[in-house]
Amino acid sequence: MIWDSIKTISDYHTGLHERKFSVVEAITELYAYIEKRDTDVRAFLQLQKEEALAVARSIDNRIQAGESIGGLEGVPIAIKDNILVSGFPTTASSHILESYMASYDATVIQKLKKAGAILIGKTNLDEFAMGSSTETSAFETTKNPHDITKVPGGSSGGSAAAVGAHMALGALGSDTGGSIRQPAALCGVVGLKPTYGAVSRYGVISLASSLDQVGPFAHTVADVARIFQVIAGADAHDATSHAYDTSSLTHFDQSRARTRTIGVVDEYLHEQGMSHEVSVATQNALERFKNAGYTIKHISLPHVQYALSCYYIILPAEASSNLARYDGLRYASQTQNSKLKTQNLLQTYLDNRGKGFGDEVRRRVLLGTFVLSSGYYDAYYSKAQKVRRLIQDDFLKAFEDVDIIFAPTAPSTAFALGEKTQDPLAMYLEDIFTIPVNLAGLPAISIPVDQEYSKEHMPVGFQLIGKPWGEYDILNVGNDYETNLRN
C-alpha cells in the first residue's frame, strides 16, 4: 500500500520522484482509505474526488514530461468548511448556510491551488467556529482518531482529525481562541496559529475579525512550515494582512535554535484546572529542553488570569456583528420560503435565524448584542479592550527577557463525547491556555509531547509562543524538539 510508508510531505515527494507511484494512484488509494476510515471519525463534510483526480492527472503529466514539481504539488490538503472554495458548498457547519455555494476562492485557497496542492475535501467544525469539541456542528459529530469515544477538540476538529487519522498530509483551520492549537494537541498533530495579519482572511467566514487567523495542520513542524510558507503574505483584499518574507522558514538551524531563551509562565504552572497527565507530560517536554542546553527562565504574565473573561466579551461582540448578515435570505435557501408571501419580513427573519442557528451560536450572539448595547458598552466591551491591551503589554514585556514562551496547549487530554456539552463554562475553559495568544496577536505552535498514543495514553501538546512575526523561531525550536529531543 502506497500510504503505509508515507508520513510526511517529503516522504510523499520522494516516492513521486522515484516513480514508485503516480499522483493519481496515491490520491485514488487515499480516497479509498478515507471512505473506510471516515465512517468512524467523521472528519469530512464533503469530498472533492473528481476535481482532486483532475489535478492529480495534470501533475502526473508534468512529471512524465520531466518537469520538476514544487513543495506542495500533489499534496492532499483538507480544508475547514469556513474557508471558501469556488463551486463547492461552504456551510460553516450551520443549517443557515447548508445550501450556500461559494462563488470565489479564498486567498489561501488561491495560493494552495497555485502551489499545486490537491484539495481533497471540506472538514467539519463547530458551527461558525464556535466551540472546543466540534460537537456544535449542525451536520456531524467528529471523533478523535485515537479513541472514537472522545472529542477531537475544536473548532477545527475535522481538520485535526483528518490529519491525525492519516486521511490528509496537511489541513487548513482557523484559530480565533485556540481552534487550531487545541484540536492539534488533542489529536496528536502539529498546528500553527500565525501572527495576526500573517495570512489573509479574505474568503474566510468571519467569527471575530480582530482575533481570527488561518493556519495549517500537519504531522511535522517541517510540513506545517511548508504549508505556511505558501499561504502567508499580504493580500489587497485584506487590509489587516502584511507582507511576509517566508523564504527561510523551512531552513532549520539547530545551533541557532539552542541559543533561544525559553520563558515558562508562572501563572500557567499553577493553573488549577490542568489535569495531572497534562502537567506531567508538559514538564517532561520542558525537561528535555533543559537537558538539551536551552536557557529556561520563569516569567510572569500578571493579567493573563483575566484573558478568558476578556475574550468572552470581545468575541461574542464581534461575532454578533459579523453574523448579522446571515438572515437566511441572502446566503441560503429560506427555511420559511413557502410562507414569504403570507407573513411580514420581521417574522421571516426571526423564523430563519431561529431555525438556522444552533444553541451555542444563539448564546454568543445574544451575549455579544448585550455587551454592545446602550448602557453596557462601557461597562463590558470598552473595559475588555483595555484589559486586552494590558495582556498584550505583559507579553511584550516578557519578550524583553526571553525569545519564546513555553506553555501547555490544553488543560486536559481529549474528553468524552457529550461530557461538557451541557456546561458552557467547562467547555470555554478548554481554551484557557490558548486565548491569550489571540488577544495579543502572537504566533504559536502546538507540538505533541510524544509520538505514540493508545486509548490509555491520549495525546498531549505544548505550545511555543513567539514574538510578533516570530514564526521562524518557534518553528526552528519546535523542529529541534521534534527531531532531536522527543522520545
CB 464 within 8 A of CB 434: no
CA–CA distance, 207 with 173 (Å, rounded to integer): 13
pLDDT at 77: 98
CA–CA distance, 436 with 89 (Å, rounded to integer): 33
The structure's pTM equals 0.96
Which of 80, 122, 150, 193 is flagged as catalytic? Answer: 80
Residues 6+ positions from 79 with CB-CB distance below 8 Å: 85, 109, 119, 121, 122, 123, 159, 171, 172
CB 219 within 8 A of CB 442: no
Domain ranges for the chain: 2-255
Query: Does the annotation count 193 as an active-site position?
Result: no
Mean confidence (pLDDT) of the chain: 94
CA–CA distance, 286 with 278 (Å, rounded to integer): 12
pLDDT digits 0-9 by tens, 96-147: 999 899 999 999 999 999 999 999 999 999 999 999 999 999 999 999 999 9
**Domain 2-255 superfamily per CATH:** Amidase signature (AS) domain (3.90.1300.10)
AA identity, residue 375: G
Q: Which residue has cell 467566514?
A: 205
Which of 132, 137, 156, 179 is flagged as catalytic? Answer: 179
Residue 333 vs residues 67, 97, 205, 339: alpha-carbon distances, Å: 46, 8, 18, 13
pLDDT digits 0-9 by tens, 305-348: 999 999 999 999 999 999 999 887 777 655 544 444 546 777 77
CA–CA distance, 228 with 96 (Å, rounded to integer): 31
HSE-up (13 A, CA, CB side) for residue 327: 9
Query: Does the annotation count 111 as an active-site position?
Result: no
**What is the helix (H) or strand (E) element at residue 218, kind and residue range?**
strand 214-218
pLDDT digits 0-9 by tens, 358-416: 999 999 999 999 999 988 999 999 999 999 999 999 999 999 999 999 999 999 999 99
Query: Does the annotation count 80 as an active-site position?
Result: yes
Which of 155, 156, 174, 241 is flagged as catalytic? Answer: 155
